[in-house]
Amino acid sequence: MTEWMFDIINPLQFLNIVLNAAGKGTKIFHLHGSFGDVYFQCSAIKEAQDKYPNICVIIDEKYKDLANDAFAGTPKVKIILFDCATANKMFSQISILGNKHEFPVRLLPTVYPMVAESIGAGLLSYVGFLRLLTESDKVGPLEKIDQKEINLKKAFQILAQANVPPGNTVLISADNNTQSEFSEEFWLQICEVIRSCGWVPCLNASGTSVPARILAQSGLPKVVVPPNLAVSIPTAAGCYIGGTNGFSTIQALYNDRVEGIHLINGLLIEDNKISDRFGNEFNVDLMFHKNTCKQQFLGLQKEILVQKNEVDDELASEITSTLQKMRAKIKGIR
């Protein structure tokens, strides 16, 4: 009886609480996943908000500021803060997916049969999946969240606290959630190139689910990037360089003010495929944002496939040219 109550009764009670809190006729969305997932989910809901009289979002406490920024000035959006891993488990126990009656719509692709596989194979875009679930009819670039002037001011304050110069700092995001990472030695070489150009390397210490690991003990200045300032901080910094992670994807699709670099780990390519940490294989072409998000890619991010575990002259030249270009543009951002 105890197991049955835990598996069925508790999730049903939770669903009832959510439905009552949201109110009758309200469209409910459950946001869940990595930081990048939640950022895109907020954006997709924001662009589709005119489709519904009232909206309720269930989102984790750590993304409170992101949700408040995304839906600021929109009284018809109600925010429920709840541990989303727990909510995800309870919805799964009673087979809730959404888009039926008034049940919550779950926005994490992995809960839908074959959706994650279709995205990984290039048969379905992640943005297309989100727009389908939110019933958005928009095309092209996604709805911005944190490029307001107030967010940029906050970003400048955070950089000042880290004692790094705005407009002359490269924010580095070296940790990857699912894709293989470059070695710390590789990233230290990246930092040397940055310094040789007269810029300051700074670590994005927010990591994925835990504080950043790679370069954490390197002595680099650190900035913990809040989810609601994911674009504002690299904009204030002046440039960014990242591996294949949610942070790099956010920059590729939302940052229309500064250029940066996405480094793709191609050290273990076999038959034109790259395997992630879990053994899933991806066609090399699908590792590029410009290919997987053609309509949303802003064209400012330089994407480089790296097949040496060192910074050779070619890669150093690409970094140098990007920083020189940004130095020439930076006055227009201030």
Which strand (E) or helix (H) includes residue 99? none
**84 and 209: one domain?**
no
**201 and 318: one domain?**
yes
Residue carrying the six token digits 């994807």: 249
Task: With respect to residue 120, please indicate whether it lies within any of the assigned structural domains.
Answer: yes
Task: With respect to residue 322, please indicate whether it lies within any of the assigned structural domains.
Answer: yes
Task: With respect to residue 139, please indicate whether it lies within any of the assigned structural domains.
Answer: no
Residue type, 40: F
pLDDT exceeds 80 at position 207: no
**187 and 302: one domain?**
yes
pLDDT exceeds 70 at position 334: no
**130 and 153: one domain?**
no
Distance CA 198, CA 221 (A): 15
Task: With respect to residue 95, please indicate whether it lies within any of the assigned structural domains.
Answer: yes
Cα separations (Å) of 83 from 37, 257, 270?
15, 34, 39
Distance CA 206, CA 226 (A): 8
**106 and 163: one domain?**
no
Q: What is the pLDDT of residue 102?
A: 84
Mark which of 100, 134, 168 sits at the end of a domain. Answer: 134
Which residues form the domain of 273? 149-329
Give the E-state strand segments of 60-197 in sequence order. 77-81, 105-106, 169-173
Q: Are strands 105-106 and 169-173 parallel, antiparallel or unpaired?
A: unpaired
Tokens coding 116: 């994650």
Task: With respect to residue 143, please indicate whether it lies within any of the assigned structural domains.
Answer: no
**313 and 192: one domain?**
yes
Which strand (E) or helix (H) includes residue 169? strand 169-173
Task: With respect to residue 317, please indicate whether it lies within any of the assigned structural domains.
Answer: yes
Distance CA 176, CA 250 (A): 14
Global confidence as pTM: 0.93
**94 and 204: one domain?**
no
pLDDT in tens, 26-54: 999 999 998 899 999 999 999 999 999 99
Residue of 138, 121, 171, 161 lying closest to 45 (CA atoms): 138
What is the full DSSP assignment across 128-142?
HHHHHHHT----SSP
For residue 304, what are the β-bridge partners?
263
**128 and 173: one domain?**
no
CB atoms within 10 A of CB 145: 26
Residue of 219, 251, 233 lying closest to 40 (CA atoms): 251
CATH number, domain containing residue 186: 3.40.50.2000
Residue of 189, 215, 176 lying closest to 308 (CA atoms): 189
Q: How many separate domains does the chain show?
A: 2
Task: With respect to residue 273, please indicate whether it lies within any of the assigned structural domains.
Answer: yes
Distance CA 142, CA 127 (A): 8
**227 and 310: one domain?**
yes
User: To the nearest whole percent, how much of the chain has pLDDT over 70?
Assistant: 94
Mark which of 134, 164, 187 sits at the end of a domain. Answer: 134
Q: What is the pLDDT of residue 330?
A: 72
pLDDT in tens, 10-22: 899 999 999 999 9
Residue of 70, 45, 57, 59 lying closest to 21 (CA atoms): 57
**176 and 40: one domain?**
no
Within 13 Å, how many C-alpha atoms sit on residue 66's CB side? 27
**300 and 185: one domain?**
yes
Average pLDDT rounded to a whole number, residues 201-218: 84
Residue of 299, 305, 334 lying closest to 318 (CA atoms): 305
Residue of 290, 294, 173 lying closest to 231 (CA atoms): 173
Q: What is the pLDDT of residue 1?
A: 46
